[in-house]
């Protein structure tokens, strides 16, 4: 039996979905996978295949001595063969412990473009990278970013395994449009626009608010809902209050399994200023909701050649795309959403994701 440790900082939304997909990949009796969380999570279920370290945030910053010692003991006791990490905190710890423990393979999943912006982090790679290490990029855009980190002293292998969703499971969870709008408290009889994501600056919500304010001039009964929570909430609320948009914009906060309400929307918008992949796009594609998104990172690849894209931060560009999408005839909207769904099934369904991971894990060490 192959023993696998999946190490994660916490259960933030995007990573949590990916960790569940990986758990499902290695659920057979050939593998024993444990998922370990470094920091406290929103909920904790104590089962044999989940470990909670509950380190404080300060314990996973700086040199992380306490975290290193506890993780070293845990890995030594459990004798893991393979390690999979998400985000830099987990990568840092395993990269160092890999020098002292006999891991057969280490896979470092990279989700975005900011993990190695500091020179100290690049030096860490140079010093600690081992022959048993591989980067797993969640999109070709992230792979290109990692490729630029290459240098002759530490050759690193980078593999792209696209994010995915369990399409059949997700489609069964969708709630019909009228019922979804009722749950979300939307009573508007105009077009409903929306997005899902953390309320942080890089998600581009200020661009969306500015474009939506202009859109209301032509569609005064329109409604915008931004599902998610984060440090930018106060700034968004102040903008909404100053511009008297309280009745037209809803910020309901974090909603568990928010994707099941996607059919409430007439248009899904992803206004990110940077985005490694955009997993929520796959959920919108599965819901067959029209999509407008920024042209950044992995988004153009996810949506393909038929995408409706605008330059990140371009308010007028976003407004133009919104107006075009809302005004499309029903038959054209159906055609476009069907194309989105076909692309989802051909490239991003979970079965393909799982096949790639199993092939990677089963690759003999000599070919690694």
Domain positions in the chain are: 2-164+349-367, 167-347
* 243-266 exposure pattern, b = at least 16 Cβ within 10 A, e = fewer: eeeeebbbbbeebeebbbbbbbbb
Sheet holding 192-196, edge to edge: 249-253, 223-227, 192-196, 267-270, 291-294, 309-310
pLDDT of residue 17: 80
Smallest Cα–Cα separation from 18: which of 29, 30, 6? 6
| Three-state secondary structure of 15-64 | HHHHHHHHHHHCCCCCEEEEEEECCCCCCCCCCCCEEECCCCCHHHCCCC
Sheet holding 31-37, edge to edge: 50-52, 31-37, 2-8, 82-86, 105-110, 133-137, 157-160
Q: CA 70 to CA 208: how far, in whole Å? A: 44
Please check whether the two domains, 2-164+349-367 and 167-347, share a CATH topology: yes
Among all chains, which residue has been given the structure tokens 């304010």?
213
The burial class, CB within 10 Å (0-12 / 13-18 / 19+), for 84 is buried
Full-model pTM: 0.85
pLDDT of residue 357: 94
Strands 105-110 and 82-86: parallel
Q: CA 242 to CA 192: how far, in whole Å? A: 22
Among all chains, which residue has been given the structure tokens 């508007």?
188
Contact at 8 Å (CB) between 160 and 318?
Answer: no
- Tell me which CATH code domain 2-164+349-367 carries: 3.40.50.2000
pLDDT of residue 59: 80
- Tell me which CATH code domain 167-347 carries: 3.40.50.2000
Contact at 8 Å (CB) between 9 and 38?
Answer: yes
pLDDT of residue 367: 59
pLDDT of residue 266: 98
User: What is the mean pLDDT of each successive set of 10 residues along the chain, which is 368 residues long?
Assistant: 94 79 87 93 75 88 88 96 95 96 94 86 89 92 85 69 92 97 94 96 97 97 96 97 97 94 98 94 97 96 94 98 97 96 94 92 71
pLDDT of residue 116: 87
Among all chains, which residue has been given the structure tokens 């593998």?
31
pLDDT of residue 97: 97
Measured in whole angstroms, the distance separating CA 72 from the mean position of its chain's CA atoms is 28
For helices 87-97 and 65-78, angle between their N-to-C axes, nearest 10 degrees: 60
Say whether 101 sits in a helix, a strand or coil: coil
């Amino acid at each position: 039996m192959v023993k696998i440790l999946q190490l994660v900082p916490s259960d933030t939304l995007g990573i949590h979905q990916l960790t569940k997909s990986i758990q499902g990949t290695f659920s057979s009796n050939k593998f024993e996978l444990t998922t370990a969380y470094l920091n406290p999570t929103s909920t904790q279920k104590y089962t044999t295949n989940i470990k909670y370290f509950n380190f404080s945030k300060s314990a996973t910053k700086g040199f992380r001595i306490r975290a290193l010692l506890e993780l070293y003991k845990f890995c030594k006791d459990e004798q893991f063969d393979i390690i999979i990490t998400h985000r830099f905190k987990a990568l840092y710890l395993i990269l160092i412990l890999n020098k002292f423990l006999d891991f057969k393979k280490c896979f470092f999943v990279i989700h975005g473009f900011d993990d190695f912006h500091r020179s100290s982090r690049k030096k860490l790679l140079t010093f600690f990278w081992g022959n048993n290490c591989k980067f797993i990029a969640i999109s070709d855009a992230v792979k290109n970013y990692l490729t630029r980190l290459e240098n002759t002293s530490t050759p690193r292998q980078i593999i792209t395994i696209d994010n995915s969703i369990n399409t059949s499971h997700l489609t069964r969870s969708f709630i019909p449009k009228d019922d979804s709008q009722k749950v979300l408290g939307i009573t508007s009889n105009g077009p409903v626009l929306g997005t899902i994501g953390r309320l942080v600056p890089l998600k581009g919500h200020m661009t969306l608010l500015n474009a939506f304010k202009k859109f209301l001039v032509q569609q005064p009964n329109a409604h915008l809902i931004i599902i998610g929570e984060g440090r930018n909430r106060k700034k968004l609320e102040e903008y909404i209050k100053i511009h008297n948009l309280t009745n037209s914009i809803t910020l309901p906060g974090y909603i568990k399994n928010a994707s099941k309400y996607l059919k409430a929307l007439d248009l899904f918008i992803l206004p990110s200023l940077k985005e490694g992949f955009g997993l929520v796009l796959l959920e919108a594609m599965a819901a067959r909701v029209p999509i407008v998104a920024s042209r950044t990172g992995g988004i153009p690849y996810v949506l393909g050649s038929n995408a409706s894209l605008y330059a990140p931060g371009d308010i007028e560009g976003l407004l133009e795309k919104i107006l075009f999408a809302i005004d499309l005839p029903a038959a054209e909207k159906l055609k476009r959403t069907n194309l989105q769904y076909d692309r989802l099934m051909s490239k991003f369904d979970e079965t393909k994701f799982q096949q790639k991971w199993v092939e990677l894990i089963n690759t003999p060490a000599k070919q690694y």
